[in-house]
A and B are shown apart, each in its own frame.
Chain A
Amino acid sequence: MSNFAIMADATCDLTKELSEKYDIITVPGHLVFPGNKEIKAFLDWETVPRDEFYADLKKKPDEYSTSPANVEEFAEAMGKPASEGKDIILMTISAGMSGAYNFALQAKDIVEKKYGVNIKIIDTMRFGPGFGLMAIHASLQRAQGKSMEEVAAWIEENKNRFHQAGWLDDLSFVAKRGRLTHAKAFFGALAGVKPIGEFDYNGMTTVIGKAKGAKKAYAALLSYIEGTIEDPQDQIIFIAQTNRLPQAEEYKKLIEERIHPKEIYVKDVFPSCGINVGPGLMAAYYVGKPISKDLSFEKELLNKYLEAKE
């Protein structure tokens, strides 16, 4: 029986099954679908089938958009556990990518005043399954009997160890929306070239290498994971994919054979993130060595494997 609640905005991409299993409350934001149809963010494909969504998104990228839950909605969501007297850790998507963190901070003041509870808002500096994985780790820490302060401190201390190892082979969405990366991304089709992205120190993703073709990319990525992961046998690895399911399944198989994690899941990216990432993401998320400030270690490591012959 936990005495504090763990909450996460819906960009954590945790399905109902996982959020129930780890007792994480998700806070949905908003989506705009074609025809200016505004709907509440969802974390299943019950109303909109996955393949249909990504196919349509590719066709009409400009007719989709996202916005986070507003202050009132965050306050309302936090009000529920707060009314039961529970303290709260609320985790948000990287503040560099969305306004969720700032909205949640304002909501915190309202809820704390009203219910006299303690709330910690944490900028995870991650998005999607990387963020979701961090929320699960927070839950696992809580299950060890740690206090809210201890869990919050653990996340702050360790969030820089959450890696992304994978590719985003269609950069046009990232380029258009200007989320996810600091630098201008380039639109052009890449014909088999796989840009490999890792989280940087500021919670954005950065291309740290490129591979010609999936085979070379898999080979280098596996070595890269091996070189950065810690205690794989105790780890849950998430593989996220946007319209790249066969590649993700292949990746899962390769990771199982080589890295032997405790658990590994291929996970969907739901529209809250998917609309900004676009199709073409195929990446693994895991906990490993702290990421260097300028990504120099990670770049060097990956490029060593990329240049190695198959």
Chain B
Amino acid sequence: MSTMKINGQHLEQMLKNGLNNLLNHREEVNKLNVFPVADGDTGTNMSLTLAHGLNSAPSRVEAGPYLKYVSDGMLLGARGNSGVILSQLFKGLYVELARCGWVSPAQLRNALIRAYKTAYASVVHPVEGTILTVAREGIEHIRLQLTRQTTMEEFLSMYTAEMRKSLSFTPELLPVLKESGVIDSGAYGYVLIFEGMLDRLYGKEHKAEKTEEAAAVVGPASPSPIDLDLFNENTVFEEGYCMEFILQLMRGEDYTRRFVLREYIDDLKLFGTSLVVVQDGRRIKVHIHTFKPAKVITLSQEFGEFLTFKLENMQLQHNEVLQGAAEPAGHKELSVIAAVNGDGMEKIFRDLGCDVVINCTEALNASTQDFIRALGKVSADKIVILPNNKNVVMAADQAVRLSELKNVEVLPTKSPAEGYFALAMDIQDSHDIALRINQMRNGMKSTVTLTESAATKDYESGGISCKAGEEIVLLNGKLVAASTDWCDCIINGLKAVPDIDDVESCVIFRGDNTPDEYEAILEERLAEAFPMLEATFVYGGQSVYRFMIGISE
């Protein structure tokens, strides 16, 4: 086979094959995590991100428009750091290929260069030895080898082979990889996608092995039948409608107004929130939360007609999802959105006045879309977001950018414990918003987080080593204690906290599978080892960490 050019349909098949290849290696990618605990989620995050992109892209013959849908979808569905970077790589691809119906190897080369440049630019502190390096070296090392005769198969073979080489060097660039004896997981995931794409050109199809699970990831969540009784004449309608449509801009006398994207967006902003508008030539994709769908329809019909149209009563969905759980009512001065890792934490955060709590497991980070949805649920002069790890900080930042809201502040809380202290220090009944945000910042500041769990593999760091299955404690993500006994391990881990003997208090989140009696055991040992330390035990419900301890001084 020798393919000289590919179009949107080819790309669709190739990308699906790439996704399946990634899915089949997902666990392997997850396990490459640089830390020896099972919060490895790179493979899951990348596949969810790509799947979101593919699911939201209608089939198109032209390559450029197709990639735009994929890229927009990935941007919205991006999960985790690796997902965000992957979405940026695809954004670069589509920007370069926007006007291409058919793509030649030379055009793809230019697009791949644009891709890595876009990705680098999107990361505040680019780190070498990651997906960025592999995407850059993969194309930079072969760009001059391309001739007019080079086929798409040859080109992608060179690209993937070069990336494999670059991948094997990632431990040399990133010490933390070398210490753990692994290659970079995000970079590996990226290579797998392109290898799957190349395989499709050679006619080798990858079927997602775990069909059930793969379907759950690839397919949109199958809508469960909605209980219409949750909405009746007494319901307070305060959620509005979720509208999604694709508008075809039309010629002809009926469509008098000249379409200017910026003006259209400004007009739509008057009617609703959570607005996302993407233009693809003469087609406009719109997502908006509104109380006045008729206004949106009337406005849009000044320019064209609807190709697809979806309208959902969000109150109904909202009532169903929450089933009576406390949600903010009406406009507030300050709303807080937080991400947590367990049902117990969710409750605690709500009790502390958090308006929307996104509960996710350690292995599945909150996505950009989750935050956009959450932003659509609150109405406030000022909104504060409290993420629960550093990748989620990126997703939250991304959501704020996409939402174009100017009144949102992401406090970069890197663990649920930091978020907890931010809320504990908040003065919820104060009308002084600046003071409240400052209080939250103080709460987050100088908080340390210890986590206790079992190591998933042998590991060595900073002179401490552990075997797979052994108990380990991480202090702000760094290994500080390893032992065969979980309780010894926590005591030793706490000793690594600076000035621990002067620490007055801490909060301890108990995990989902941690037996109740462990609390009493730990309490007794703590009283013995740190008599001045007052521990507040709460049920957190997190799945990976047996205990998570937050100390804030």
Contacts and interface: CB of A to CB of B under 8 A. Distances in A.
A186 B505 contact: no
A186 to B, nearest CB: 5
B4 interface: no
Given A189-B348, A190-B424, A210-B439, A184 B505 contact: no
Nearest to B502: A215
A213 B443 CA distance: 11
A193 B353 contact: no
A209 B348 CA distance: 21
A222 B324 CA distance: 45
B504 A214 contact: yes
By DSSP majority rule, is chain B's interface helix, strand, loop, or mixed? mixed
A89 to B, nearest CB: 33
Given A209-B427, A210-B427, A191 B505 contact: yes
A187 B352 CA distance: 6
Contacts of A299: 430, 432, 435
A294 to B, nearest CB: 9
A206 interface: yes
B504 A188 contact: no
A96 to B, nearest CB: 15
Interface in B416-433: 420-421, 423-425, 427-430, 432
Nearest to B446: A212
Interface string A164-201: 00000000000000000111111111111101000000
A207 interface: yes
A303 interface: yes
Given A191-B507, A212-B552, A213-B553, A185 B429 contact: yes
Contacts of A206: 429
Contact of A207 (B353, B427, B553): B427
B506 A192 contact: yes
Given A184-B429, A186-B352, A191-B424, A303 B435 contact: yes
Given A213-B504, A303-B435, A188 B352 contact: yes
Contacts of A193: 421, 424-425, 443, 552
Nearest to A196: B427
A104 to B, nearest CB: 29
B534 interface: yes
A187 B506 CA distance: 18
B504 to A, nearest CB: 4
B538 interface: yes
Contacts of B550: 191
Interface residues on A, range: 20 to 34
B407 interface: no
Nearest to B425: A210
A77 B552 CA distance: 52
Contacts of A185: 429
B351 interface: yes
Interface string B387-428: 000000000000000000000000000000000110111011
Nearest to B430: A207
A214 B534 CA distance: 11
A106 B238 CA distance: 45
A185 B427 CA distance: 10
Interface string B542-553: 000000001011
B553 A212 contact: yes
B351 A187 contact: yes
B536 A191 contact: yes
Contacts of B429: 181-185, 206-207
Nearest to A190: B424
A299 B427 CA distance: 11
Nearest to A172: B351
Contacts of A187: 351-352
Contacts of B351: 186-188
A213 B505 contact: yes
Interface string B317-359: 0000000000000000000000000000000110111000000
Contacts of A195: 427
A193 B442 CA distance: 11
A212 B428 CA distance: 16
B504 A189 contact: no
B506 A191 contact: yes
Interface string A267-310: 00000000000000000000000000000000100010001000
Interface string A137-173: 0000000000000000000000000000000000000
Contacts of B349: 188
B353 A192 contact: no
A189 B435 contact: no
Given A210-B425, A213-B553, A188 B348 contact: yes
A306 to B, nearest CB: 8
Contacts of B435: 299, 303
Contacts of B428: 183-184, 186
B504 A215 contact: yes
Given A212-B553, A214-B504, A299-B432, A192 B427 contact: no
Interface string A200-230: 0000001111101111000000000000000
A212 B426 CA distance: 12
Nearest to B505: A192
* Interface-centre pick from A192, A195, A214, A215 (highest chain B CB count, 10 A): A192
Contacts of B421: 191, 193, 212
A290 to B, nearest CB: 21
Interface in B480-521: 504-507
Interface of B: 348-349, 351-353, 420-421, 423-425, 427-430, 432, 435, 439, 442-443, 504-507, 534, 536, 538, 550, 552-553
3 closest Cβ pairs, A-B complex: A192-B505, A183-B429, A191-B507
25 contacts: A183-B429, A184-B428, A186-B428, A187-B351, A187-B352, A189-B507, A191-B421, A191-B424, A191-B505, A191-B507, A191-B552, A192-B505, A192-B507, A192-B536, A193-B424, A195-B427, A206-B429, A207-B429, A207-B430, A209-B427, A210-B427, A212-B443, A299-B432, A299-B435, A303-B435
Given A189-B536, A193-B425, 9 more contacts: A188-B352, A192-B504, A192-B534, A192-B536, A193-B421, A193-B443, A207-B430, A210-B424, A212-B443
